[in-house]
Amino acid sequence: MNKKPLVSCIVIFFNAGEKFFIEAIESVFAQTYDNWELLLVDDGSTDGSTAIALRYVEKYPEKVRYLEHEHHQNLGMSATRNLGIRNAKGEYIAFLDADDVWLPQKLERQLVIIESHPQAKVVFGSTQFWYSWTGNPEDSKRDCIRELGIPSNGLFHPPKLLVLLLQKKVNTPATCSVLIRRELFQEIGGFEERFRGMYEDQAFFAKVYLKASVFVEANYWDRYRQHPGSSCSIAKTIGQYHPVKKNTSHLAFLNWVAEYLSQENIKNAEVWQALQKGLWPYHHPRLYFLLYPFQRIKSRLYRIERKILPLLARQ
């Protein structure tokens, strides 16, 4: 790169716990790319997380800033990310949750990619599902790369990825895997604040996929810590979320997509057909119950095909 653009690294946190939070922050300081600012955005923590954030601000005032909602309110993940976005000064924005970590070359490598592809407003890759953080030898065997189901090292133009997302043919990237041009937020707005937890990322990426070109890279540069206290684990436990089966959070997301498409006056037939296909199980629950096993097989075969075809093409 001929220049060193500023990257705003936004870490949102709520009762993050000392070990996880410090490891997340230190993974930003460990970046091989050094022109960044760190925004620690507090969603109303009541444990020692606020004090940890303020210690970093005091120690590194030229690099770290602390933000919180008025009256130290808890407003949810989307509103907290948006607070960080509004205060970001960088040309690029990257997100990291307080219990996850970046690998050291994350910013450096992704900046090279996005600046080499001026059409791309966003770059992301896969994510490591990280179990070995426990130090347990058995957990180290469980570490795995979460495949996105998208051919890598390619540029995708709208609305291709939105159609695939609505059809459940691709996985949503982890928010901590993404690097975004800040200008995109002026075009699409921020995160949807009605989603306080589950599907806040899917709603955001639906907006991205509808309006922006995206580069999907082959590598992963982040570790998504797997533990029972994560928002995803809690949502699964209480029945609000399931990656495949019907659930209330998914229905709320699809209904929001319908509202958003109407609001944006989107006429694309392929997008609307994909949305109607996603809503079909909720409108026809009995038929869905009968067909669900076959749908799982079909979905699995599609993902296997997406993995095998690129390998065959190289031969």
Instruction: Report yes or no on 315 lying in a domain.
Output: no
Q: Which residues contact 15 (CB under 8 A, 6 or more apart)?
A: 45, 46, 47, 49
The percentage of the chain sitting over the pLDDT mark of 90, rounded to a whole number, equals 73
**pLDDT given at position 285:** 76
Number of domains in the chain: 1
> pLDDT tens digits, residue range 117-164?
999 999 999 999 999 899 888 888 899 998 899 999 999 999 999 999
Instruction: Report yes or no on 111 lying in a domain.
Output: yes
Instruction: Report yes or no on 99 lying in a domain.
Output: yes
Global pTM reads 0.86
Q: Give residue 42's domain range.
A: 7-252
Work out the mean pLDDT of the chain and round it to a whole number: 89
Q: What is the CATH number of the domain that holds 201?
A: 3.90.550.10
Query: Which DSSP string corresponds to 89-103?
Result: -SSEEEEEETT-EE-
Q: Which residues contact 41 (CB under 8 A, 6 or more apart)?
A: 10, 11, 12, 13, 67, 68, 80, 81, 83, 84
Burial class (CB in 10 A: 0-12, 13-18, 19+), 117: middle
How far is Cα 49 from Cα 196, in angstroms, rounded to an integer?
20
Answer whether 124's CB lies under 8 Å from 214's CB.
yes
Q: Which of 6-10, 22-26, 27-31, 198-202 has the lowest mean pLDDT?
A: 198-202
> pLDDT tens digits, residue range 290-304?
666 666 666 665 556
> pLDDT tens digits, residue range 194-226?
998 789 999 999 999 999 999 999 999 999 998
Q: Is the dihedral of CA 117, 153, 109, 87 positive or negative?
A: positive
**CA 293 to mean position of chain CA atoms:** 28
Instruction: Report yes or no on 1 lying in a domain.
Output: no
**pLDDT given at position 177:** 98
